[in-house]
Structure formats: C-alpha cells, structure tokens
Amino acid sequence: MHIVILDGLTTNPGDLSWEPLERQGTLTVFDRTAPADVVGRAVEADGILTNKCLVGREQMLALPRLKYIGVLATGFNIVDVEVARERGIVVANVPEYSTPNVVQATFALLLELTNHVGHHDATVHAGRWAAGPDFCYWDGDLVELAGLTLGVVGYGRIGRAVAAVGRAFGMRVIHHRRQSGGDPECVDLDTLFRESDVVSLHCPLTPETKGMVDARRLSLMKPTAFLINTARGPLVVEADLAAALDAGRIAGAGIDVLSVEPPPASNPLLTARNCIITPHIAWATRNARRRLIDMTAANLAAFAAGRPQNVVS
C-alpha cells in the first residue's frame, strides 16, 4: 500500500518515529500541503492520512486509486464522508487518544482563569513581590472551585472525564447530551447555561451545534461564570463571545480552538477582556501524539486485513 501523509508536522515535528506507519506500506510524509497540491501529492496513493488538509469531492474525484482516508485526529469534518461513502472509500478516525490531555488542558485554562497563575508569576518576576510591603498580594478575585456548578456540554469520553475531575474539585456537575436516558444530571442546554458557574464544551461540530454559543445563550450565563472551549472553534459565535466578555456579561473564557486556525488578526477574541487563548494544543503532548501514530497504524492494518475499524464513512 502506498500511503501519503499530507500534513505530518504537527503530529510529528521530529520527536517521534513514523515506524509504526512505515510497517504498513510505502510511506511518504509531507510536513504541510497547500490545498492546490493535495491531488498532485496523493495521485499515486492508495491511502492518505490528513489532520487538517481538506479532502473533499474535488480531491476524491481526482484520485482514482484512493481507497482509504485516515484522519490523524478524532474530528473528521475535514473529509467529505458522504462523497467517500459514494465512492467506496473507507474513512477512519482515531478516537480517545487525547482524552487525558484534553481534560488536563480544560482545567489548565480554568485554573488560569480562577487563580491567575501566569499573571502573578509575571508580576513576581517583574519585581513587585520583592518591592512590596506585605508577605503576599493578589490581583483580581481568586475563585474557589469547590461548590461551583460545572456544566459539561457533550457527555462522551472526554466530557465524562472532565466531569470526574470537576467532582474531585468538589464541584456539582450537570451535563447536556442528545439523549438523557433519565439521568438527573442531564439538563437542557438553556438550563445548563443558566445554572453553571463553568460551562465546558466537549461536543462535536455538527450543523446543529455550529454557533450554539451565541448572544442569546451567553445572556443566560451568570456574570461570574466562565466558558471553556477545547472542542471546536465554530461552536462559538466569536463576535458574540467577545462582546459578552468586553461588556462584563460573563467573567472570562478559556479557549484552545478558534473558527479559523491560525486566526486572522481581526478575530475579536484576540483583544477581548479576560480571554485566555492557547493555540490548539489540548491534544499535543508527546504521549498523545505517540498514541495517535500507533492507533492510526492499527487502523491501517485493520483495513489491509479486510476488517476496517473506527470507520466514520
């Protein structure tokens, strides 16, 4: 099998081995691929692997040898799965590989919003503590998590793991999912936004969830509440969130994903009040990226054996 990785740099910038994938066939790795170069680079490929390179109708129609698309991620909205299904192309993703990392990143963002560790570290290194008259100082409110309500939107593997850590902090947990199953913790979205002190997004991007966090939903939140998004940028209407932050309608936001990545300088969240932004790194520890490569190789091996797994097409 001839396998082409279109954008391998973020998965493996050189600190890991591609050897598990090399065992599956002839492997060609490109660090990055521009949209115009996808077809030219994959024209001889039986299988392509992509993280963020779009593989849509135009590309698939121009790649007659293509039998398999592996997504180097859990989200697979960069592949037109309907076209793949029509053409008999198997599309597989990699679930679960990043769960511990996303949970960790979720609380890293939340703890920065509540404890302001980075800000206080910067003031100490700038000399403020050494020059101060008291044994301590703090800027802004330091917020205790125990007793607060954590609202988890999306209650799959990651959402449940986030809820477990929230409970360990002494938080009350409520959540929203498509089917409640009679769970008393499961509430409708408006109730979740209204009652939560922290709203954390862990749902997939679908036509139904796109833009779900808009001005109306943000208006339901407490002025002391925080929004965390480590899921998908387009879940949030960014202009509405920036307006809510700047007006003090909510207390802050911790964001790891944006609607366009990398963001244009005009993205309103870049200058919004009390908005912490990290560059889509919730998935990116070395351990997680190693699991991603290993699980992608296992998907390929299963496909070659005629027993494809983690199929989303």
| Active site amino acids | 232, 261, 280
Size of the chain in residues: 313
Query: What is the end-to-end Cα distance of the chain in Å, rounded?
Result: 20
Asked if residue 68 lies in contact with residue 89, where contact means CB atoms within 8 angstroms, the answer is yes
Name which of 58, 70, 104 is nearest 308 in CA terms. Answer: 70
- Give start and end residues of each alpha helix (H) in 180-285: 189-195, 215-220, 238-246
- Phi and psi based region of residue 228 (left: phi greater than 0; alpha: psi -120 to 50; beta: remaining): beta
Q: What is the DSSP letter of 96?
A: S
Both tokens of 60, joined, read: 């698939």
- Sign of the CA dihedral running 103, 109, 114, 119: positive
Residues 6+ apart with CB under 8 A from 161: 99, 100, 103
Asked if residue 202 lies in contact with residue 159, where contact means CB atoms within 8 angstroms, the answer is yes
Which residue has tokens 């244009």? 264
- E strand residue ranges, the chain: 2-5, 26-29, 47-50, 68-71, 90-92, 149-153, 172-176, 198-201, 226-229, 252-255, 275-277
Name which of 245, 239, 246 is nearest 214 in CA terms. Answer: 239
SS (H, E, C) 125-140: HCCHHHHCCCCCCCCC
Cis-peptide, bond into residue 95, ω within 30° of zero: no
